[in-house]
Amino acid sequence: MAVARRTSRDIRSDSRLIVVRALLAAGESTRAALAEDTGLSPATVSAVVGDLLGSGVAAEAGLLSGTVGRPTTGLRLNPDRGRVVGVYVEDRHFQATVFDAALRRLANVHVTAPAPVEAADDVIDRIARTLDTALAEAGASHEDVLGVGVLLPGGMQRPVKSALAPDAIWLHLDRLRDRLGLPVVVDNPLKAIAAAELWLGAGRRCASVVVANLGEGVGAGIVQDGAVVRGATGTAGEWGHSLLVFDGRACQCGRRGCAEAYVGVPGIRRTLAETAPGHPLLDVPLPGFAAALAAAAESGDPAAASAVERTAHYLGAALADLVAIVNPEVIALTGWAAAELGALVLPVAERRVRDDAPGDAAASLVIEPSHSSGMEGIAAIALERFMRDAGLVTTRVLPAL
């Protein structure tokens, strides 16, 4: 990736994205309020609004009466400009969510296949059918769709190791595009959640936000100065595969000692197994393990409590590395830390972050649950891609595929 050359078109493009995000946040606004909100000059806002009205991305919303003066023409994103569809594919799960062009959720369909879907053509077929069902639910047709965004866990982050076809679908994107007959973008779920934080979440008030996901897998999405950080090969934010213990536990990625091997759910189970071999909780399947561990710890099981405590220290130390290197204003947690185990783990983990982070780097750090969804994020990315195809946006770094 060479240095992006910024042209006057790019600068206009930036202004358009800024105004689109401001409209999204405000719901309805006016040219004057947009200039106030964004800091862009009234002339720039007028020009940008003209572009957005001309392309149908924004629409007039009737007269708004303010507190003083004459009523002024209201502006909003134009929900009827079209539809954007987010698709999530993992293992046997196929989910499609239809949004209007103001990123409001219209319909959601989640289909679980009765058996693993392995052939690429079968995966593509299932995606197409799930998407059609969701469009029907939303009362929308193919022609309404501005873009489709596919959330693909893992697959693009490293060479495909799984035999499961969904992970490898990004190798067959041309066939997916042909089959759908629609513009398709593919992105990693954490990049998508980061995009959602940027457009709709903590990124609206902070320049620097890290989304940290704690589930079976562990990773981060980084927002800095108005963009999701992608890095040279699109893998920036692979915090789960930063080191926690040199030559430590084997990680599923093939390396030893990664943070994921300690704070991913299988890693937490391994922590329990190390200190309490034969503990009955070790028989609980992974999807229910974090909740079961939390319940056991709360009901006074000392081995469970010890595994929770140890996990809190691992997590705090791993988050402190993010603070050391990225130094964000906000870390937004998703996965188990925001759900099953967070209440037990976070107080200790937060103390450890503040103790371990360099100097006062974590002094005003906010650690909070992320309320952003990958589906909203991938819809935002698909909408941004549509604006690019429409010539409205030029400079943002776009998803890898």
Distance, CA of 146 to CA of 302 (rounded, Å):
54
Residue placing its CB nearer to a copy of itself in the complex, 62 or 254: 254
314 counts as binding a copy of itself under rule CB under 8 A: yes
Whole-number Cα distances in Å, 221 to 58, 144, 188, 227, 361: 29, 30, 9, 11, 19
Instruction: Tell which one of 7, 65, 141, 162 touches a copy of itself (CB under 8 A).
Output: 7
> In whole angstroms, how close is the CB of 35 to a copy of itself at the nearest point?
9
Q: What DSSP element (H or E) covers 382?
A: helix 374-389
As given in the structure block, the two tokens for residue 84 are 């954007």
Strands 83-90 vs 145-151: parallel, antiparallel or unpaired: parallel
Pick 87 or 212: Cβ nearer a copy of itself:
212
Angle (CA) 189 191 197, round 5°: 105
* Segment interacting with a copy of itself (CB under 8 A) among 58-66, 69-77, 135-143, 356-364: 356-364
x/- mask, a copy of itself, residues 119-138, rule CB under 8 A, reads --------------------
| Residue 183 sits in the site that holds a copy of itself (CB under 8 A) | no
Q: Are 154 and 167 in contact (CB under 8 A)?
A: yes
Per-residue HEC secondary structure of 207-221 comes to CEEEEEEECCCEEEE
Q: How far is the CB of 176 from a copy of itself (least distance, A)?
A: 21
Closer to a copy of itself by Cβ: residue 240 or 342: 240
Segment 81 to 120, residues that bind a copy of itself, using CB under 8 A:
none
Span of 32-40, 54-62, 68-76, 141-149 interacting with a copy of itself by CB under 8 A? 32-40
- For the CB of residue 295, give the shortest distance to a copy of itself in the complex, in Å: 27
Written as six digits, the tokens of 186 are 């593919």
CB of 344 to a copy of itself, least distance (A): 20
Structure tokens at 113: 């296949």
> How many other C-beta atoms can be found within 10 angstroms of the C-beta atom of residue 84?
28
Candidates 139-147, 284-292, 312-320, 372-380 — which segment interacts with a copy of itself by CB under 8 A? 312-320
Q: How many CB atoms lie under 10 A from the CB of residue 77?
A: 26
CA dist., res. 349 & res. 370, Å (int): 17
Amino acid sitting at position 269:
R
Subset of 39-58 contacting a copy of itself (CB under 8 A): 39-41, 43-44
Q: Which position among 238, 301, 340, 350 is part of the footprint of a copy of itself (CB under 8 A)?
A: 238
Site for a copy of itself in 186-215 (CB under 8 A): 203-208
11 binds a copy of itself (CB under 8 A): yes
The answer to whether 135 and 83 have CB atoms below 8 angstroms apart is yes
Residue choice 108, 133, 224, 275 for contact with a copy of itself (CB under 8 A): 224
Backbone torsion region of residue 225, taken as left when φ is above 0, otherwise alpha when ψ lies between -120 and 50, otherwise beta: left
Q: How far is the CB of 39 from a copy of itself (least distance, A)?
A: 3
Per CB under 8 A, 282 contacts a copy of itself: no
